[in-house]
Structure 1
Amino acid sequence: MSGFFARSTHETEGDEERQGIAGAPLTERSLHDVIITRDILFSFFPPELVYIVLHHAEYWVEARALCTKDITVAANESLSYLETSTILDHQQFGTEDIHLKVARVEFRIVSHDQGWCSDPTLDDTYRGYTWFEAAILRPNDADPAVVHQVHNATGEARRWAVQTNYTASSEFRKHIVTWNADGSFSAGPGAGGGTGFIACLQAGDRIELIARAMYPRWVNWIESAQVSVYYGIG
């Protein structure tokens, strides 16, 4: 079994229950778990219906990358905080080649800004200048050891906005941002919608989470971040 279906090579915590969009707790799920459930359902339903049921139940394989390094990013800095393992489009399971498709990407970020702001109109908003972005890293066709950031077709940037910190607060806050393959997303204030992000992903890509800060005296304090990639089978 590939390590992709266990845990990422990044530092990880113990089993953690996390709330999905519908409020149901999710735990990290392996390909083995999904295939066993699929085969049980095959005993009762036709294959095409089984795959529909698994998808609507969000019974997906999860690949999780977690970083727990306490880091600060100051004015005009950009830091690559976390990278996922490579995106897959298939995986061998016994004698069967399982087709995989990214169904969801979820970001969990714990951070805050410098804790004060000279502009009172920014207090208690998400309009400050410390934030996080996501990029897609793709190997160069001529030299796979060289990677480049994939262009964001919705704008001129090669990155997607993920989450801005709550302004003028020194309290660490957890923000959860969920992007789905159908274009929908689930997030609170200050989050990006990830338009076109999952559609751009290809096998061999990696997802990079980047911490940003702009202008003098603005500081992005990061406690931890996690990126989970959910795969449907078919």
Structure 2
Amino acid sequence: MGSTLSTISSALTKESEPAYNGNPTEDDVTSVRDLFLCYLPLELIDLILEYAEYWPCIRCDSNYEIVAEASRAISNEAAWLYLMSPPIPPKDESKRRRIRKITFQMESHDQGWANTEIDQGTYNGSWSWFEAVIFRASVSPCWLDLTSDPTSPFNLGAKFNYSDLKELFPEPDPNGWHVQSNIVASKEPRWHSVTWTEFEDDSEAHRDPTSSKGREGFGHELVRSLEPGDRVMLIAKARFPGWSNHVFQGSIEIYYSV
């Protein structure tokens, strides 16, 4: 049991080496605001920066190739921790940090076949998907050690069932939001980009707060729930025998204003 906990502890610290991603740093935003102060009132400057979405970004990405197979998981539900973001910056009296949006990008496909033709080529009835979960260290089990670096994504579904995972990440409650499903019965890798803001999207066509794939259509809740020190996890999932999630690469970007 000890080795298993150690492995999971390592997996829960996954983050990529920092790299320039085309977004400003906090110092960049401060420098631009100070420069504009020579010409414009602060209220107008903040409106300009807001309209331009000139925000710092926390980013992580991975190009590890994995196959999350439901038939190889406890309870026939595969759950691979594929990505975990760096922590949300701590509170700072000199900066008004506020999470503005989160973007997930994924390249993946399902097992490439299905028993029926009704849903093939659509997202309907897909049991190969991605879920976002918040990791809050202050309420997670005491054995989670965030000091070591993993070498690859971790297969949570091989050690824990659905109820176990809920106990590992108990807050916020509810915790778990549907990000994106794979197209049914397609062997072609496809790129999906999903962006959530802090505002509820009235144009969202489908909402299901009780979905077993995570709260569908409620991504704004995740943005609003984030606290300093929280990390966002992208979990590749598949359920029921025969279903799988083939993941080739992905990224998480968390934008915040200062």
TM-score past 0.5 threshold: yes
* Contact in 1 for aligned 2:15/2:84 (Cα 8 Å): no
Q: Name the SS for the 1:97 alignment partner.
A: coil
Equivalent residue number for residue 112 of structure 1: 109
Equivalent runs, 1:26-175 vs 2, <5 Å: 27-75=22-70, 76-90=77-91, 97-127=94-124, 128-140=126-138, 146=144, 148-153=169-174, 158-175=175-192
Distance 2:34 2:201 in 1: 30
1:231 has 2:256 as partner: yes
The sequence identity of aligned pairs, in percent, is: 30
Note closer, same or farther for the CA distance 1:149–1:44 as it changes in structure 2 (3 Å cut): farther
Distance 1:42 1:205 in 2: 33
Q: 4+ residue runs of structure 1 moved beyond 2 angstroms?
A: 96-99, 140-153, 182-193
Larger helix proportion, structure 1 or 2?
Answer: 2
* Contact in 1 for aligned 2:132/2:176 (Cα 8 Å): yes
Q: Structure 2 regions of 5+ residues with no counterpart?
A: 1-13, 71-76, 145-167, 208-215
1:219 has 2:244 as partner: yes
Q: Name the SS for the 1:217 alignment partner.
A: coil
Shift of 1:187: 9.2
Distance 1:59 1:185 in 2: 25
Shift of 1:47: 1.3
Distance 1:123 1:109 in 2: 20
* Contact in 1 for aligned 2:23/2:55 (Cα 8 Å): no
Per-residue CA deviations over 1:156-184 (Å, capped at 9, x if unaligned) read xx200000001111111110000012234
Distance 1:142 1:148 in 2: 6
Distance 1:108 1:187 in 2: 19
Equivalent residue number for residue 161 of structure 2: none
Q: Name the SS for the 1:196 alignment partner.
A: helix
Note closer, same or farther for the CA distance 1:11–1:131 as it changes in structure 2 (3 Å cut): farther
Note closer, same or farther for the CA distance 1:149–1:102 as it changes in structure 2 (3 Å cut): same
Distance 2:140 2:128 in 1: 36
Shift of 1:152: 4.6
User: 2:16 is matched by which residue type in structure 1?
Assistant: H
Q: Name the SS for the 1:120 alignment partner.
A: coil
Equivalent residue number for residue 21 of structure 1: none
Q: Per chain length, whose mean CA-contact separation is higher, i.e. which structure has more relative contact order (CA < 8 Å, sep 6+)?
A: 2
Note closer, same or farther for the CA distance 1:78–1:210 as it changes in structure 2 (3 Å cut): same
Shift of 1:34: 1.6
Per-residue CA deviations over 1:197-230 (Å, capped at 9, x if unaligned) read 1111100111011110011111100001100000
Distance 1:169 1:124 in 2: 7
Shift of 1:188: 10
Return 27-36 or 170-179, whichever deviates more: 27-36
Distance 1:187 1:110 in 2: 23
* TM-score normalised by structure 2 residue count: 0.71
Please report the RMSD computed on the Cα atoms of aligned residues, expressed in angstroms: 2.9
Distance 1:188 1:173 in 2: 22
* Contact in 1 for aligned 2:140/2:170 (Cα 8 Å): no
Distance 1:58 1:29 in 2: 10
* Contact in 1 for aligned 2:197/2:220 (Cα 8 Å): no
